[in-house]
Structure 1
Amino acid sequence: MKVTIIGAGGNIGQRITKEATTRNHELRLITSKEKSFFGIDDVDIKAVDIFDTETLAENLKGSDVVISAYAPPHENTDLIIDATKSLVEASKKAEVRLIAVGGAGSLKVSEDLLLVDAPDFPADYKSIAVSHQKALEDIYLKESELNWTNVSPSAYIFEGERTNQFRIGEDYLLANDKGESAISMEDFAVGILNEVENASFSKKRFTIGY
């Protein structure tokens, strides 16, 4: 498949790129990183402003699916909302499927409680969690034309190993018997590429965790 990865040089984007190369997809990377950063020879790399919708759309054309691992700056997390609006419009113009990395904060921990509203939710991550929640609720869940998928990690996502042993959920936070909710970036990437190939969650959000 022809796969375009936005934010390919970020922590999660790197893992998605690496996983995609092992599956022999034809890749196009949108990132400010140089080709040598990835160690991939046969790949098209461009630096495209995610907020320039028209130019972005032109660079998405011809792809079967676009994966966005765009992360906003810590000092202005609401940029994820503007970026999402641009991504959605560009993807519609280019007539491609969009899979976007979301946040864990919008996952339910009980019927009436979201993770971001839990008393012990870390204050340092509140802003980005709320911004991702707005993008999901105000843009993706109201979008009926585009074939979109939003992917939430577990509460704790870390640099680790590719085990290929994880669970898939929808709107509820995944946790083990000890109440721990975690996923490695490597396995998160596996789950995303599985979705690229199987398309199980069209116009839905899903989550990946141990």
Structure 2
Amino acid sequence: MKVLVLGATGNIGGHILAEALARGHELTALIREASKADTLPAGVKAVIGDINTLEANNDVFRHQDVVIAAIRPPQGQEQKLVEMTDKLLKATDKHNVRLVLSGGAGGLLSPKADQRRLTDDPDYVGSGWKAIAIACAEQLTHCQESAFSHWTYLAPAAFIGGTEKRGQFRLGTDTLIVDEKGQSKISLPDLATAVVDEVEVPQFKGTCFTIAY
């Protein structure tokens, strides 16, 4: 498949790029700085641009099967995430291209009995992460309330980290997945696996899914 990745030079995006490349997909990375092209793996085509140059990059979108976006606004500008996502939804719809968003857990429900929004549960969203968690919750809501259905949103575990690839994890929909200790974790490679699995065999078109061990 022809896949365009946004956020490919970031931690999450880089792992997604590597997983898709290992599976033989034809990859293009939309990057802001030409100097970062040399950091991309061999076999990945680099195109210079960002969310604000989508119209100028029309030709790139037109030739893709799927766009994967692992995007985050700069710290302190979290409120821009919805605007960025709206532009992506419209650009991909225009060219009839699927959009898979690697988002955040903020829009999920807490696994506790009261099922409050995760952003209101300090056990999973501390003060240092609350701004981006709220932005991710709003990002998911924007997708759900839009007129579009060509998107998929991955709301991952509360904690993402580590480079161990277990190859096994649990899938869910609207509620954070936790283990027997109440912890919610996923490694970077396994998150990437879940994203590329969804690219290859769509199970959650027009909706959200979550993953954790």
* TM-score of the alignment, normalized to the shorter chain, above 0.5: yes
Instruction: State the shift of 1:47 in Å.
Output: 1.9
**What corresponds to 1:26 in structure 2?**
26
What is the one-letter code of the residue matched to 1:189?
A
Distance 2:126 2:57 in 1: 34
What is the one-letter code of the residue matched to 2:101?
A
Instruction: State the shift of 1:39 in Å.
Output: 2.9
Structure 1 residue aligned with 2:176, among 158, 173, 178? Answer: 173
Contact (CA 8 Å) 1:56, 1:90: kept in 2 or not? no
**What corresponds to 1:131 in structure 2?**
135
Distance 1:206 1:131 in 2: 17
Distance 2:122 2:104 in 1: 18
Deviations 1:14-67 (A, max 9, x none): 000000011000001112353331231x32101212123412443211111000
**What corresponds to 1:36 in structure 2?**
38
Contact (CA 8 Å) 2:107, 2:137: kept in 1 or not? yes
**What corresponds to 1:148 in structure 2?**
151
Distance 1:39 1:56 in 2: 21
Structure 1 residue aligned with 2:196, among 185, 193, 197? Answer: 193
Does the alignment pair 1:91 with 2:92? yes
Contact (CA 8 Å) 1:97, 1:147: kept in 2 or not? yes
**What corresponds to 1:4 in structure 2?**
4
Q: Percent identity?
A: 36
Instruction: State the shift of 1:144 in Å.
Output: 3.4
**Secondary structure of the equivalent of 1:192?**
helix
Could you say what the CA RMSD is over the residues aligned between the two structures, in angstroms?
A: 1.4
Distance 1:148 1:107 in 2: 17
Does the alignment pair 1:183 with 2:186? yes
Distance 1:56 1:90 in 2: 10
**Secondary structure of the equivalent of 2:29?**
strand
**Secondary structure of the equivalent of 2:128?**
helix
Instruction: State the shift of 1:93 in Å.
Output: 1.3
Q: 1:115 to 1:145 in 2, by over 3 A?
A: closer
Does the alignment pair 1:66 with 2:70? no
What is the one-letter code of the residue matched to 1:96?
V
**What corresponds to 2:120 in structure 1?**
117
Contact (CA 8 Å) 2:3, 2:25: kept in 1 or not? yes
**Secondary structure of the equivalent of 2:106?**
coil
Q: TM-score, normalised by structure 2?
A: 0.92
Distance 2:88 2:155 in 1: 17
**What corresponds to 2:50 in structure 1?**
49
Deviations 1:101-127 (A, max 9, x none): 111121111454011101333001000
**Secondary structure of the equivalent of 1:207?**
strand
Distance 2:209 2:159 in 1: 16
Q: 1:178 to 1:79 in 2, by over 3 A?
A: same
* Matched positions, count: 208
